[in-house]
Structure 1
Amino acid sequence: MRKVLRLAGVCAATVLAGVAAAAQRGAPAGDFDFYVLSLSWSPSYCAAEGAEANRQQCAAARPYAFVVHGLWPQNERDYPEYCGNRQPERVPGEMVADYRDIMPSGGLMGHQWRKHGSCSGLSQSDFFALTRKARERVKVPAEFTRIETPRMVAPQTVEERFMSANPGLEKSGMAVTCDRRYLREVRICLTKELQFRACAAVDGKDCRRGQVLMPPARGG
């Protein structure tokens, strides 16, 4: 289990702790309020996990900058997970190949499908197609598509850059997360129609540190 969670880019306790009050395991598929698009700063994951990091994601050149960690069905105060459905648990190799540009490993895709995608009420193909649309909905600021040297940033500044690049996105509809050293994720709340919306539980979990590290990324 530990290995699977690392393939997902970060352990589940870190990813979802505090995003909502509690998980609703086995909730009915399709019964949720909105989505959270989680964009992970891939070099932070690679640096934090070191030799244990997924090789597909963390090759020597570190080709990834912000990647899609997941598209999470969410409620105002909780979130569903591992919902019952008639879809296969395994994501086929050809589908993995189709989405590797935004989700860098098959382990990540499989874990995200089983834990979160299963609750969307969509088929595998429709869920990952929606994930791509959600990623295309959000514009990553140009300054974060390629970083040549380690960079210290204020989480608030990252928020501001994302808001400037995405008209309609407000502070109340997003969060920038970190660990003790690294900037980890930008989480953005979207309606089922992929419009920006407020989400108090997510927004309340912003990183409180003044400065965090963004390790370099060689390309987006």
Structure 2
Amino acid sequence: MRRRLLSLLLAVAAGSFSGLPGEAQILPGGLGGQRADPPCVLDKCLGLKPNTPTPTTPTQSPDAEQSAGRSTSVAPGSFDFYVLALSWSPGFCASGGAAKSPDQCAAGANPGFVVHGLWPQNQHGYPQACNSGARFPSRLALDSAKGVYPDEGLARHEWRQHGTCSGKSPTDYFADVRRARQAIVIPPELTAPDADQTWAPLDIARSFVTANPRLRTDTMAVTCRGNALEEVRICFSKDLRSFVPCPEVARASCRRPVTVPAGH
């Protein structure tokens, strides 16, 4: 009897300290630290299934949900500000993107920074996939997004994951993405460099501030993938008329020098 009891206790202890089959895994979120799809870098955006936000219970506050790594169920349009994410295309193409987006990565194309997305964001965390009934933008809406994103598949994905939380129609949301992109001037030294460069992330941020006088370093982040530049993320007010401080976003900035690969 004692042996059976001891065996049972050991089995319970083992289950407590090791990952159980089927156990949910908490993944780091891109901006809010929530459990989400794998990071939506350009080469990983296509074909992903959107997460359905987890509803909060009456005894659990939204802040508790975010701190636990879960997305919260919120009404579309309920967020604090936008984040415009600009991806460095040469880095995407150099890391296998040419097979996924041949036009974007064609020899001589050199698009430089391209729109990854315009993301509704809160001061702590962010909503996503807010309206399961509005995940399929019309052909007219997708046509209006041409020239905004480097690929139609990315436009579809960004609408499902982020546009549905904007509180706007697909056409109006894509118009806002275009408006945000047109509000940003790319620094001349990062428009089409003809050779690989090494930059301190803060210097990249400062170059954007110089090119966009109303921008400040506390309203943006410079992120990296490994040792290479990945994105510049810029925080806009909901009406897209001004830049706003965004401490949680800014903390995602790289701290070490990054390589800025040139286009070819």
Which of the five TM-score ranges fits, normalised by the shorter chain? 0.7 to 0.9
Name the amino acid aligned to 1:9: L
Between the aligned partners of 2:73 and 2:263, the Cα distance in structure 1 is 37
Secondary structure of the equivalent of 1:196? coil
Match of 2:205 in 1: 159
Among 181, 185, 196, the alignment partner of 2:231 is: 185
Name the amino acid aligned to 2:228: Y
Secondary structure of the equivalent of 1:24? coil
* Match runs of 1:117-196 below 5 Å: 117-194=163-240, 195-196=242-243
Deviations 1:150-170, CA, capped at 9 Å, x for gaps: 222221111000011111211
Among 40, 56, 60, the alignment partner of 2:107 is: 60
Match of 2:89 in 1: 42
Between the aligned partners of 2:189 and 2:227, the Cα distance in structure 1 is 20
**Does structure 2 conserve the Cα–Cα contact (< 8 Å) formed by 1:7 and 1:107?**
no
Among 202, 205, 215, the alignment partner of 2:252 is: 205
Greater relative contact order (CA < 8 Å, ≥ 6 in sequence): 1
Name the amino acid aligned to 1:101: G
Match of 2:42 in 1: 9
Give how far 1:11 is off: 3.8
**Does structure 2 conserve the Cα–Cα contact (< 8 Å) formed by 1:57 and 1:104?**
yes
**Does structure 1 conserve the Cα–Cα contact (< 8 Å) formed by 2:119 and 2:162?**
yes
Figure out how many residues of one structure are paired with residues of the other and give that number. 206
Give how far 1:9 is off: 0.6
TM-score, structure 2 normalization: 0.70
Match of 2:151 in 1: 105
Secondary structure of the equivalent of 2:127? strand
Give how far 1:85 is off: 5.9
TM-score, structure 1 normalization: 0.83
**Does structure 2 conserve the Cα–Cα contact (< 8 Å) formed by 1:29 and 1:85?**
no
The 1:84–1:167 alpha-carbon spacing in structure 2 relative to 1, beyond 3 Å, is same
Give how far 1:98 is off: 4.4
**Structure with more of its chain in strand, by fraction:** 1
Deviates more, 1:58-67 or 1:118-127: 58-67
Between the aligned partners of 2:217 and 2:228, the Cα distance in structure 1 is 21
**Does structure 1 conserve the Cα–Cα contact (< 8 Å) formed by 2:196 and 2:260?**
yes
Name the amino acid aligned to 1:203: A
Give how far 1:100 is off: 3.6
Q: Which has the larger radius of gyration?
A: 2
Structure 1: any 5+ residue segments left out of the alignment? 13-19
Q: CA RMSD in A?
A: 2.5
The 1:23–1:192 alpha-carbon spacing in structure 2 relative to 1, beyond 3 Å, is farther
Between the aligned partners of 2:124 and 2:73, the Cα distance in structure 1 is 16
Structure 1 runs (4+) deviating above 3 angstroms are 4-8, 20-23, 50-53, 85-88, 94-100
Give how far 1:25 is off: 5.2
